[in-house]
């Protein structure tokens, strides 16, 4: 994999170039959302506490920011922060409900200073509700939505890393909400608060499964449904070398292709793939089949065909997969292997930019005010 030097933060080529966002340092979904926006060209200024920011934030999810220190318990720094927000298009904060208000940076005060600003609030439980002020993490937020209860083997639920809650139901919904509100502000001049709760987003991600349940096509028993490992043609299998493969032959034509390539076309047992009573026997038959060869041998036979098949890669292996290499899905930047920006844009490509340090809160606020004045003059407002 080629080494790609990170470009300066001032170099902005993505579709969000010219957008100014203030990020209050936090953990998890807020920083990841800010990374996505920075990858797409937004100028993101992160306000770190004196002495450091997020102890869990690796260099990857901190990329693309201008880092400045702000002591939000110091009235002078709060005043400078309000000055900075006057020149911003949006902010991201992930504190518990009421914290920003106590700091003197709540929506009422900030929107009075900058009525067009979009105020993004990222929490697990949301700004309201009986759990709003309770501590929690991804596993708790997805637990109440039905998502966690649907994932894992029959014996017990398994947390799907923190992808479903923090990043799927959190970061991605925050980015969508911010961009939608920014479009509205561009048309109306009126900003607003975006209350992004992980529990809301995770529930939204489950829309398809609630629809299936309403039609009687989903069981609350794990490993008994179409997409939860209950079907012998949609699950993972262990191979002779201990590695795994993923089979997803849902449609009959893809299932037939898998059978042809795997030498199972003449096995009458596999004709009964949708007969519930036959599933245990089919599971056992396919488990025995995949144990006859190592993973990479199965990949050479099945990957890239209409069998809907892929080898299960580890984090160490994935960046070297030929398909991901061909697409440039991963990049090595300053010695760190990391996902490249996604999605792709044909005219305004995203880019990985280096974090920028050494500037003060006041310097950034002054620079943004200068940009706002220039924009206003260009628009003929005379502001």
Residue 79: inside a domain: yes
In tens, the pLDDT along 275-313 reads 999 999 999 999 999 999 999 999 999 999 999 999 999
Active site annotation includes 166: yes
Cβ count near 73 (within 10 Å) = 10
Residue 214: inside a domain: no
For tokens 């900030």, the residue is 110
Residue 226: inside a domain: no
Are residues 163 and 304 both part of a single domain?
A: no
Are residues 268 and 159 both part of a single domain?
A: no
Are residues 275 and 287 both part of a single domain?
A: yes
> At 290, which CATH number?
3.30.1540.10
Are residues 122 and 270 both part of a single domain?
A: no
Q: How confident is the model at residue 55 (pLDDT cuts 50, 70, 90)?
A: low
In tens, the pLDDT along 4-43 reads 555 555 567 899 999 999 999 998 999 999 999 999 999 9
Residue 280: inside a domain: yes
> At 170, which CATH number?
3.40.50.10540
Active site annotation includes 137: yes
- Catalytic member of 39, 54, 89, 166: 166
Q: Token pair of 274, please?
A: 């949708």
- Catalytic member of 137, 244, 283, 369: 137
Residue 383: inside a domain: no
Are residues 274 and 356 both part of a single domain?
A: no
Are residues 300 and 154 both part of a single domain?
A: no
Look at 124 and 1; give whichever has higher pLDDT.
124
Which residues form the domain of 276? 234-326
Are residues 162 and 72 both part of a single domain?
A: yes
Residue 141: inside a domain: yes
Are residues 322 and 332 both part of a single domain?
A: no
Look at 348 and 379; give whichever has higher pLDDT.
348
The pair phi, psi for residue 334, each rounded to 5°, is 50, 40
Q: What is the mean pLDDT of residues 129-139?
A: 97
Q: How confident is the model at residue 376 (pLDDT cuts 50, 70, 90)?
A: confident
Entry field: residues in the chain: 383
Are residues 195 and 55 both part of a single domain?
A: yes
Supply the pLDDT for residue 383.
Answer: 46
Q: What's the 3-state SS for the chain? A: CCEECCECCCCCCCCCCCCEEEEECCCCHHHHHHHHHHHCCCEEEEEEECCECCCCCCCCCCCCEEEEECCCCCHHHHHHHHHHHHCCCEEEECCCCCHHHHCCCCHHHHHHHCCCCEEEEEECCCCCCCCCCCCCCHHHHHHCCCCHHHCCCCCCCCCCCCHHHHHHHHHHHHHHHHHHHHHHHHHHCCCEEEEEEHHHHHHHHCHHHHHHHHCCCCCCCCCCCCCCCCCCCEEEEECCCCCEEEEECCCHHHHHHHHHHHCCCCCHHHHHCCCHHHHHHHHHHHHHHHCCCCHHHHHHHHCCCCCCEEECCCCCCHHHCHHHHHHCCEEEECCEEEECCCCCCCCCCCCCECCECCCCHHHHHHHHHHHHHHHHHHCCCCC
Look at 191 and 371; give whichever has higher pLDDT.
191
Lowest mean pLDDT among 26-35, 51-60, 92-101, 124-133: 51-60
Q: What's the 3-state SS for 301-369? A: HHCCCCCCEEECCCCCCHHHCHHHHHHCCEEEECCEEEECCCCCCCCCCCCCECCECCCCHHHHHHHHH
Are residues 8 and 119 both part of a single domain?
A: yes
């Amino acid at each position: 994999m080629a080494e790609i030097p990170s470009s300066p933060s001032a170099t902005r080529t993505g579709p969000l170039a010219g957008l100014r966002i203030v990020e209050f340092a936090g953990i998890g979904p807020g920083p990841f959302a800010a990374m996505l926006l920075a990858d797409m060209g937004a100028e993101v200024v992160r306000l770190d506490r004196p002495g450091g920011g997020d102890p869990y934030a690796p260099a990857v999810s901190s990329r693309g920011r201008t880092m400045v220190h702000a002591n939000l318990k110091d009235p002078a720094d709060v005043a400078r922060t309000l000055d900075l927000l006057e020149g911003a298009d949006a902010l991201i904060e992930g504190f518990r409900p009421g914290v920003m208000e106590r700091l003197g940076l709540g929506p009422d005060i900030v929107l009075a200073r900058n009525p067009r600003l979009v105020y993004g609030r990222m929490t697990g439980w949301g700004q309201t509700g009986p759990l709003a002020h309770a501590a929690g993490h991804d596993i708790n937020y997805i637990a109440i939505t039905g998502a966690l209860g649907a994932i894992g083997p029959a014996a017990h639920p398994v947390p799907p890393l923190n992808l479903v809650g923090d990043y799927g139901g959190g970061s991605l919904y925050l980015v969508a909400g911010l961009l939608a509100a920014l479009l509205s502000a561009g048309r109306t001049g009126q900003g607003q608060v975006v209350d992004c709760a992980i529990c809301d987003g995770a529930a939204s991600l489950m829309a398809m499964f609630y629809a299936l349940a309403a039609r009687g096509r989903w069981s609350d028993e794990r490993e008994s449904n179409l997409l939860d490992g209950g079907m012998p043609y949609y699950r993972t299998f262990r191979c002779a070398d201990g590695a795994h493969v993923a089979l997803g032959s849902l449609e009959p034509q893809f299932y037939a292709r898998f059978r042809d390539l795997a030498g199972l076309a003449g096995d009458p047992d596999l004709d009964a793939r949708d007969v519930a009573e036959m599933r245990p026997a089919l599971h056992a038959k396919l488990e025995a089949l995949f144990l006859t060869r190592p993973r990479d041998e199965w990949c050479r036979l099945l990957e890239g065909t209409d069998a809907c098949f892929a080898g299960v890669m580890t984090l160490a292996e994935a960046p070297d997969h030929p398909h991901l290499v061909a697409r440039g899905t991963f990049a090595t930047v300053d010695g760190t292997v990391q996902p490249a920006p996604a999605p792709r844009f044909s005219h305004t490509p995203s880019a990985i930019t280096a974090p920028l340090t050494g500037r003060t809160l006041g310097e950034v606020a002054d620079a943004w005010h200068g940009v706002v004045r220039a924009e206003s003059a260009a628009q003929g407002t005379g502001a």
